[in-house]
Structure 1
Amino acid sequence: MKKMLKRAGIGLLSITVLGGAFAAHEWYAEKPFFFRNFVDRTLVKMAFESPETLTSLGFLESAGIKGHNARLDDASPARSDEQLNTLLDARRVLMTYEDADLSEEDRLSKEVALYLLNFMDEAKAFRHHNYPVNQMFGVQSAFPSFMQSKHQVTSVEDAEHYLARLDQVERKFLQYLEGLKLREEKGIVPPRFVIDRVLTEMRGFVDTPTTQNILYTSLAQKLSEVEGLAEEEKQDLLAGAEQRIESRVYPAYHGFIAYFEQLHAKAGEDAGLWRLPQGEQAYDAALRLFTTTDYSAEEIHNLGLSEVDRIQSQMLEILAAEGIETTAGFAPAMEALSSDPRFYYPDTDQGRQQILEDYQRILDEIDEGIAQAFNLRPGVGMEVKRIPAFKEKTSPGAYYEQPALDGSRPGRFYANLYDIKATPTYSMRTLAYHEGIPGHHFQIAIAMELEGLPFFRRVSPFTAYVEGWALYAEHLAWEMGFQQQPLDNLGRLQAELFRAVRLVVDTGLHAKRWTREQAIDYMLANTGMAESDVIAEVERYIVMPGQATAYKVGMMKILELRERAQQALGEQFNLAAFHDVVLRNGALPLDILDRLVNDYIARERALAAN
């Protein structure tokens, strides 16, 4: 138990005396004596009420505790309201800890916690301005993905827990339906294309023969790796899965299908958040959340337009130097490049497998070559996987999945291989650096391993920092010589251009009332991306308002801070030390990161003066 709570982040003192009166006070009292015990306890208690979170974190299993793996979360609106009220009540207690009584680290933790809690309070009026069933990350695809990637099966008990979770799908989906109907009453209905996408996906899911469904095949694969499992017992477990998919899972999906079929007539074609009640205010709140700035939609839109012009100019120079005709403009030049078969793998299973192997090779290479730039490095490894076929058509080009908290599951870079033309060879390095090393894997895995920090800071969700770091990592890799070929650098610039275009398109959709088609046309004309990727991206921005603006805003801030430190410190500047400052505190709001870099500059100057 001590090890379990330590991994969860509970303070060392309370672990040492666990079982005594003091520990009981720290766990049950409204205000524990120690600040860190309070913030850790608040998040750990919430995690213990979310069996899916516990499975994802993966720290209880090593202590022999597995009962949570037999349950799914309570997804009811009442439970969501209860969790919000719990957090807002925690803010009240948090404010009773005086800054003068806290260490410097605890004061920073208090500041970060208040930033999050204050935003939750300000934005609670907009908590239903979302689409829980959507083509990107809705529960209809998240549940099978969770069972495949997070639910570990190493024993018969684990497999029985897997079956128990299949039994609970109907209950969970009915709770989601309750939330969907609440949104419908408030006038929050997805655009028609979102409904079309999820209906297509769910119909395909239930039309799949049971023994070919990912919930069955995933369990079969996991059981095949369980040592000592008798074939008869394995077949009994698989028969149990087959029966539950047919009697529990498919009926749950049919309930969603019936709801969205009747909702279809109420949906419109307009895509932006502006069309919903209080939609403009909700979008302003989304921009504050995702950028951790007060930039207006207009400021972000104009920043994007400026960056698009700058980056396209650099790309046109490279294209011209490579002998590609550019007089007709940017889009035709990129189309000429992207139509060249030299830059694509064979459209076969073997070609796709080679892509995964080459991504791993790229990551292994940079992992060995950037030691001088980092003092902090993650202890856990990472691997490259293909996005599951059942959801890759509507998934982004790639994404990163964090490792288990105890290191039992590595970090994973998932690549979308649905459209082979979406993976030109000249873009692969940049994508690997963003999702893997030194991008998301370095930042997220390092944060999770920072044992001196409270638990919530090791998993804090500040998108501008997290995605800004990953985009900065692409730039850093280029600076360090890992994209030496001109077309590899073009791939880097195309990825940065993509994030600049996002500033324009996201604000265009949600603030300037662009249609979905306008956004697709603009993105096609200004990125040179495959049309399948453009459509998936634009539809992502529609169901995740504001999130796409975080990348470029965060990257530009980190570069600005690095330039500030270089100018102030001159020869004293050390890149690895700067990266320490950025990475050693977990994800942060950008204004807090700004202050910490200023503090670092002041310390270095003081040391030099002495």
Structure 2
Amino acid sequence: MTSEPTHVRAPSAIDAVADEFVRETARLDPFAATSLGIPGYDHLVPDLSPVGIAARTALVRRTLDQLAGLDPIDAVDEVTLAAMKERLGLDLELEAAGEHHRMLNVIASPLQEMRDVFDVAPQDTLEHWENIAARLNALPQAMAGYVESLRHAAARGHVAAVRQVEECIKQSDELADPTSSFFTSFVREGAVDLVLDDSSTCTVVRKELEHGAVAARDAYAVLSAFLRDELAPQASPVDAVGRERYALASRHFLGATVDLDETYTWGLAELARVVAEQEAVAAQIAGPGASVDDAVAILDADPTRTLHGTEALRAWMQETSDEAVRALNGVHFDIPAPVLELECRIAPTQTGGIYYTPPSDDFSRPGRMWWSVPPEVTEFNTWREKTTVFHEGVPGHHLQCGQAVYERATLNDWRRLACWVSGHGEGWALYAERLMADLGFLEDPGDRLGMLDAQRMRAARVVLDIGVHLGKDAPEEWGGGVWDADKAWEFLRANVNMPEAFVRFELNRYLGWPGQAPSYKVGQRLWEQARDSARASALASGDDFDVRAFHARALSLGSVGLDVLHTALSR
């Protein structure tokens, strides 16, 4: 078990620029500061108006100008320079295309960010709750800036598809409702401990929290009215974003340029390959000639594989995660001591998503796995979800992100904390699922079918996402003609073995967040290509290939674009 770095690298001029960029980003985006665990900003909100966007863009330009005058002093600098130029340069492309102002979708836009930041905000002391109260009361200010940016984008013809607008109205209405709003329950539950202290300070904070909950609900009521009355009438019924926007989004999420048409064709082939593998496992479960549905019915009817209620789900997640950490550490990975802790929680939202939040800079906030459970879902099948725990936990996101945060002795703050590339991160997590099968942790046919179920969904997303947004022709077995939302729905229902509410949310997510969903499976493909290339290089040199060393080296780089990763690992 590794607990302390053995070598401390002297920071370079490039590191100084990177660290300053993180400090300035925290100042300009207090939500980001909270997410990264950088103290001092938890009471503030960002300026989400065009003025705020311009300020953050100016920081990006200034940082690129500073980097242009610097030469790397070692291999760490070389990766930092390449990664920052790729990420920040792409940020300028996105801004020039108007993407920063128009952000509105069902999962990853300021609408959700203004609520989600409270999940990771410190909540242990009176001062923490004072910060939360201040931030809640400032949400109307942030919301006003967000509405201004959406209006700015609309004036230029940049409006989200009407499907996204309508779903976001529903989300806003729920957050504005005094009865069902997250803010109502959050403040009520958070004030419980404060009630135990009847000091005048606690009384004031409780009142500010109550006032803040009203302010936050009112802010979402304003957003809902704007979306319904002003933006929806301007929204297009067309979900597809077209090739130009999609290509830019794909590069953003992958940190690599791929041939979209070849990737679509590969996605179809990969889906067929995974389905064939599923059918072989289904025969092990239900007998020769049995279908995947036959095997699923048997697994779902098995009481030993069924959990009842969210508390049972949370406890099982924690137990499964802890077992994986114990089994892998010192055998397949050397996990740093601060990364050994992973906390599993049920999310306060009920959208159906499963996600991970990294540890804070000092590890005082541990990495956390969150499960957002729809209200109608009360039973859970462990055969489906064991692979999800590996994806979100160890050796997936938690090992990946926790290892990066831990690399203080080598990496600057931007590399450790702030850089996140979906294709690198989600690709690694999906790679980790398959790796656990290869290492023998999914020998049970049911658990293996669950892993293949997840792989099948991710392969289907490659086909659906590229197919819909690029307006490609659908195979005859999926209706023929041009891909659209209706064909995508039937396609998903045939390939995703999840409750309908989850599948519906997933479809809306893909339609509104182009390029992100394929980054999982395409990222996995690029990770596997990098590993296979490293193996071939070692064997060509007459050396043995040490996959454990390959993983350690790759994870020590932090999250970078996949083209940068491939170059770094090829050295």
Matched position secondary structure for 1:368? helix
CA–CA distance in structure 1, aligned partners of residues 131 and 286 of structure 2: 60
The counterpart of 1:401, out of the listed 350, 357, 361, is 357
Deviation of the 1:450 alpha carbon: 0.9
Q: Structure 2-normalised TM-score?
A: 0.88
Q: Structure 1 residues 308, 511: closer, same or farther in 2, change over 3 A?
A: same
**Equivalent position to 1:364, from 307, 310, 322:** 322
Q: Percent identity?
A: 24
**1:606 aligned partner:** none
- Name the aligned partner's letter for residue 214 of structure 1: F
Tell me what 1:72 maps to: 45
Question: Distance between the aligned counterparts of 1:522 and 1:460, measured in 2?
Answer: 34
> What CA deviation, in whole Å up to 9, does each residue of 1:366-386 have, x standing for no partner?
101112111343623211111
- Please list, as runs of the form range in 1=range in 2, the aligned pairs for 1:19-418 lying within 5 A after superposition: 34-60=13-39, 66=40, 68-99=41-72, 102-128=73-99, 131-147=102-118, 149-209=119-179, 213-225=181-193, 229-230=197-198, 233-246=201-214, 248-262=215-229, 263-274=231-242, 280-323=243-286, 332-333=293-294, 336=297, 340=301, 342=303, 345=306, 351-370=309-328, 371-377=330-336, 379-380=338-339, 381-388=341-348, 391-393=349-351, 395-396=352-353, 398-418=354-374
Which amino acid in structure 1 is aligned with residue 312 of structure 2?
Q
Contact 1:39/1:454 (CA < 8 Å) preserved in 2? yes
CA gap of 1:51–1:142, structure 2 versus 1, over 3 A, is closer
Three-state SS of the structure 2 residue aligned to 1:488 is helix
Q: Which residue is 1:591 aligned to?
A: 563
Structure 1: distance between partners of 2:487 and 2:199: 56
CA RMSD after TM alignment? 2.7
Q: Which AA in structure 1 matches 2:80?
A: S
Pick one of 527, 532, 551 that aligns with 1:579. 551
CA distance in 2, matches of 1:324, 1:187: 57
Equivalent AA in structure 2 for residue 365 of structure 1: E
Change (3 A) 1:518 1:286: same
Answer with 1 or 2: which has the greater Rg.
1
Amino acid at match of 1:303: W
Cα distance in 2 for residues equivalent to 1:151 and 1:561: 37
Question: Conserved in 2, the CA contact under 8 Å of 1:385 and 1:415?
Answer: yes
Aligned to 2:478: none
Per-residue deviation at 1:341? 6.3
Question: 1:455 aligns to what?
Answer: 413
Letter in 1 for 2:372: N
- 1:559 and 1:566 mapped to 2: Cα distance? 10
Matched AA of 1:375: D
Question: Using the alignment, how far apart are the partners of 1:336 and 1:89 within structure 2?
Answer: 58
Offset of 1:213 from its aligned partner? 4.2
Give the SS at the match of 1:70: coil
- Decide whether the 8 Å contact of 2:86 with 2:255 is kept in 1: no
Q: 1:462 to 1:157 in 2, by over 3 A?
A: closer
* Matching residue's letter, 2:120: K
Work out whether residues 343 and 426 of structure 1, in 8 Å CA contact, stay in contact via their aligned partners in 2.
no
Q: Determine the C-alpha separation between the residues in 2 that align with 1:411 and 1:505.
A: 32
Q: 1:167-188: per-residue Cα shift (whole Å, max 9, x none)?
A: 2111111111111111211222
3-state secondary structure, aligned to 1:399: strand
Separation (CA, whole Å) in 2 of partners of 1:528 and 1:460: 33
The whole-number CA distance in structure 2 between the counterparts of 1:243 and 1:52 is 21
Given the alignment, which residue of 531, 535, 554 partners 2:500?
531
Aligned equivalents of 1:318, 1:217: Cα separation in 2: 44
- Is contact 1:411-1:441 (8 Å) kept? yes
- Alpha-carbon shift at residue 225 of structure 1 (Å): 4.3
Deviation of 1:325 after TM superposition, in Å, equals: 7.9
1:437 is matched with which residue: 381, 391, 394? Answer: 394
Q: Which amino acid aligns with 1:415?
A: W
Deviation at 1:301, TM superposition (A): 1.0
Partner Cα separation in structure 2 for residue 322 and residue 208 of structure 1: 49
The answer to whether the 8 Å contact 1:360/1:383 transfers is yes
Q: Separation in 1 of the partners of 2:411 and 2:30? A: 23
CA pair 123-164 structure 1, distance change in 2 beyond 3 A: closer
Question: Aligned pair in 2 of structure 1 residues 181, 227: CA closer, same or farther (>3 Å)?
Answer: closer
CA apart distance, 1:359: 1.0
Q: Is the 8 A contact 1:153 1:223 kept in 2?
A: no
Q: Report the residue type matching 1:292 in the other structure.
A: G
Change (3 A) 1:250 1:223: closer
Distance 1:120 1:152 in 2: 29
Note if contact 1:464-1:554 (Cα within 8 Å) is conserved in structure 2: yes
Counterpart amino acid of residue 176 in structure 1:
Y
Superimposed CA distance per residue, residues 226-273 of structure 1 (whole angstroms, 9 cap, x where no aligned partner) = 698336654443233223433x22332221121111233333432111
For residues 287 and 130 of structure 1, the distance between their equivalents in structure 2, rounded to whole angstroms, comes to 19
Indicate conservation of the 8 Å contact 1:57/1:404, yes or no.
Answer: yes
Please report the TM-score for the alignment, with normalisation by the length of structure 1.
0.83
Matched to 1:583, the amino acid is: L
Whether the 8 Å contact between 1:471 and 1:551 is mirrored in structure 2 is yes
8 Å contact 1:129–1:282 — kept in the other structure? Answer: no
Answer yes or no: is the 8 Å Cα contact 1:324–1:333 preserved in 2.
no
C-alpha deviations, 1:33-72, integer Å up to 9, x for none?
8232122212222222322222222243xxxxx4x33221
Alignment-derived partner of residue 485 in structure 1:
444
> Post-superposition shift, 1:502?
1.0
SS in structure 2 at match of 1:255: helix
The answer on whether the counterparts of 2:105 and 2:168 sit within 8 Å (CA) in structure 1 is: yes
Contact residue 561 and residue 597 of structure 1 kept, 8 A: yes
In the TM superposition, what is the alpha-carbon distance from 1:338 to its structure 2 partner?
7.1
Instruction: Give the conservation status (yes or no) of the 8 Å contact 1:344–1:425.
Output: yes
**Do the aligned residues in 1 keep the contact of 2:423 with 2:519 (CA within 8 Å)?**
yes
Q: 1:406 to 1:225 in 2, by over 3 A?
A: farther
- Tell me how far apart the structure 2 counterparts of residues 226 and 242 of structure 1 sit (CA, whole Å): 12
Q: Which amino acid aligns with 2:131?
A: H
Q: Using the TM superposition, name which of 34-43 and 165-174 deviates more.
A: 34-43
Shift of 1:444: 0.6
Code of the residue aligned with 1:358 in structure 2: it is W
User: Which whole-Å CA distance do the structure 2 matches of 1:372 and 1:11 have between them?
Assistant: 27
Q: Is the 8 A contact 2:307 2:381 kept in 1?
A: no
Deviation at 1:537, TM superposition (A): 1.1
Contact 2:321–2:342 (CA under 8 A) maintained in structure 1: no
1:466 aligns with 2:425: yes
1:483-523 deviation digits (Å, cap 9, x = unpaired): 12111111111111111111101101210263222111111
> Unaligned 5+ residue runs, structure 1?
1-9, 14-32, 61-65, 275-279, 600-610
Q: Aligned letter for 2:392?
A: E
Give 1:307 deviation, angstroms.
Answer: 0.2
Number of residue-to-residue matches in the alignment: 545
CA distance 1:344–1:134, shift in 2 (3 Å): farther
